[in-house]
A and B are shown apart, each in its own frame.
Chain A
């Protein structure tokens, strides 16, 4: 969206218990089940950071189960 190109507000990088990443406006209370990852900045800075760190996009519980399955095999 056009206004997102010029969005200069501060965002946090957040993640949930499944280690799924997203962004959240810093001026607002982070919702239940989400924690701040530590990075903050403009929308684009936060998204660029997520592009670097979120390398395995499977939910955490699924990753663990698949690791167990491959060890059991």
Chain B
């Protein structure tokens, strides 16, 4: 179906994401498109505001081929911004405001983005320096005087819809370019999810994660409703509350978040019709719990390079959860080959590299010709001459009946909480620290069974002991949080194999962290430190916790940090951001932060409120 050269100016009808959306907006202008807390935005209102902003973007010169950064958190403004970029003919580049300045600056330079749409609170983000910005005001003020009708569509299905960065093994993140045709295939042609207009889909993914493509565009191009979770890493309680408040019927979650939510709130999904889980291996115990509640569960597989997901097991059965749950079969028009190292299909039951073909295959890695040529290769099985297929680097096997099973990775890529992590990227970043001689990063299981990144380093004496805190702080200025190791092992020398390569198998596991049973360690002191320590013990499934223990070195990660905050906010009348755990990772420091938040809270109360609070505390 490739556009032939002679007809290149002919626009295929309604293939672009914004055109599919506009069809729905015309068909059901009064229907609710977005819900965010108490706020509801209709299809007409979303369409109108995006049209106005698109006119403004055109004035800035946005056209097909233009990358436009969107630095915003989940919310209606973000959706307006994305849609406006597409309507103007450009493609969007998600810029997570939580990312370090270096990372955003790299993405802006690498993608060639000429303009950034930014929420006012992030306008001074150091990563955006020197780029022209347009502020996204909640009332659409920036473009309020622009025409409300859509600018003439200049983009075609072959143009990019968005660019998404994924971890790169050499230390440089790579930009996957995804076209309108790719998204069209996911949201309409594939018709996988049979979304109808009555559906309410939870938007819980970060925009830098391509699950958001499905949550937003599959929903809005089907006339259904998006229920937007508040910004930040969601806690299990917040996911459950949003599901109930908005009457959510469908959710797509990473395997890590799914497991976390079901463990914490077992019936969180009981009222949801369909749950899709992807990004990592589906946890069988939690899968069975959800199946017992009558929920339809799907296991979905797909890298960003094949547009969210391309292989699906819809309707996982309880019997399938007794072993590794299969990833299923390809979505319509998509092929999945399991190949040996010569590129030949392996027999049923044997393991090989999973290679995906069809219209879901993205354009490639922007600005990376060799890497693109290596991974996006000729597809000899395609009906369409000249078509390419994508070598996933994932190992899979196929049953005689065609069902695919995920086996593992062929390289050093791992998954942490649904994020793709190239260990080489973290090692490269560590290597730039002046006191680090050599570094290897591995994955370790914590006592609670979660995956944890471990940094094994040889360092100069100038770094001091322990090495974890300074190295973590160094990486947090350069990498997103999910790429920062939480446990550290200092070595005199890295173990080598007989042929001189680093022997990963011989690397020691992180030492079990010393705890308060160790007489030399300070015990938590006072009610706040004790409360923090109790919450950690419960969540981390560890014994006693010392006052100077570090949450992350005990196996904590971002999802557990949301639980720490949620549990402390249940005990104390405070609002604590999740970032408090990252910034104050020891018991003593987090308790001090808790005290500060409590003091702030009390200062705002009337005398009567203070008295009533003191009564509650003394009774509790």
Interface residues of chain A, those whose CB is within 8 Å of chain B, are 1, 3, 14, 16-18, 20-25, 28-34, 43, 46-48, 50-51, 53-55, 57-62, 64-66, 68-69
- Pair A17/B5 contact, Cβ less than 8 Å: yes
**Interface 1/0 per residue, B6-30 and A, CB below 8 Å:** 0011000000000000000000000
For the complex formed, measure the closest distance between the CB of B384 and the CB atoms of chain A, giving whole angstroms.
7
- Pair A33/B386 contact, Cβ less than 8 Å: yes
- Pair B378/A24 contact, Cβ less than 8 Å: yes
For the complex formed, measure the closest distance between the CB of B605 and the CB atoms of chain A, giving whole angstroms.
60
| Contacts beyond the supplied A1-B411, A3-B341: 10 A-B pairs with Cβ under 8 Å | A14-B378, A18-B386, A21-B369, A25-B342, A31-B385, A33-B387, A48-B370, A51-B369, A51-B370, A54-B369
Closest residue on chain B to residue A49 by CB atoms: B370
Number of B residues whose C-beta is below 8 Å from A?
39
For the complex formed, measure the closest distance between the CB of A62 and the CB atoms of chain B, giving whole angstroms.
5
- Pair B65/A58 contact, Cβ less than 8 Å: yes
Query: Provided the pairs A51-B369, A65-B9 are in contact, do residues A23 and B364 lie with their beta carbons within 8 angstroms?
Result: no
- Pair A23/B377 contact, Cβ less than 8 Å: yes
- Pair A1/B410 contact, Cβ less than 8 Å: yes
Query: Provided the pairs A48-B370, A57-B367 are in contact, do residues A31 and B378 lie with their beta carbons within 8 angstroms?
Result: yes
| One of B363, B373, B410 near A23 (C-beta < 8 A) | B373
- Pair B377/A59 contact, Cβ less than 8 Å: no
Closest residue on chain A to residue B381 by CB atoms: A31
Q: Is B393 an interface residue (CB 8 A)?
A: yes
Q: Is B2 an interface residue (CB 8 A)?
A: yes
- Pair B379/A61 contact, Cβ less than 8 Å: no
A and B contact pairs by CB, cutoff 8 A, 18 listed: A1-B393, A20-B376, A21-B372, A22-B378, A23-B373, A31-B380, A33-B387, A54-B369, A54-B372, A55-B369, A57-B363, A57-B364, A57-B367, A59-B158, A61-B3, A62-B159, A64-B5, A66-B65
| One of A1, A28, A57, A64 near B8 (C-beta < 8 A) | A64
Closest residue on chain A to residue B391 by CB atoms: A1
| One of A22, A53, A58, A66 near B377 (C-beta < 8 A) | A22
The 4 closest A-B pairs by CB, nearest first: A33-B385, A33-B386, A16-B386, A54-B369
Q: Is B388 an interface residue (CB 8 A)?
A: yes
Query: Provided the pairs A20-B388, A64-B8 are in contact, do residues A30 and B378 lie with their beta carbons within 8 angstroms?
Result: yes
Q: Is B64 an interface residue (CB 8 A)?
A: yes
- Pair B378/A61 contact, Cβ less than 8 Å: no
Query: Provided the pairs A22-B376, A57-B364 are in contact, do residues A62 and B343 lie with their beta carbons within 8 angstroms?
Result: no
| One of B154, B372, B386 near A17 (C-beta < 8 A) | B386
Q: Is B4 an interface residue (CB 8 A)?
A: yes
Neighbouring B residues of A31 by C-beta, 8 Å: 378-380, 382, 385
- Pair B384/A33 contact, Cβ less than 8 Å: yes
- Pair A61/B2 contact, Cβ less than 8 Å: yes
Bound together, the chains give a CA A48 to CA B369 distance in angstroms of 9
Q: Is B366 an interface residue (CB 8 A)?
A: yes
Closest residue on chain A to residue B63 by CB atoms: A69
- Pair A57/B385 contact, Cβ less than 8 Å: no
- Pair B3/A66 contact, Cβ less than 8 Å: no
Neighbouring A residues of B341 by C-beta, 8 Å: 3
- Pair A61/B370 contact, Cβ less than 8 Å: no
Q: Is B156 an interface residue (CB 8 A)?
A: yes
Neighbouring B residues of A43 by C-beta, 8 Å: 374
**Interface 1/0 per residue, B388-430 and A, CB below 8 Å:** 1000010000000000000000110000000000000000000
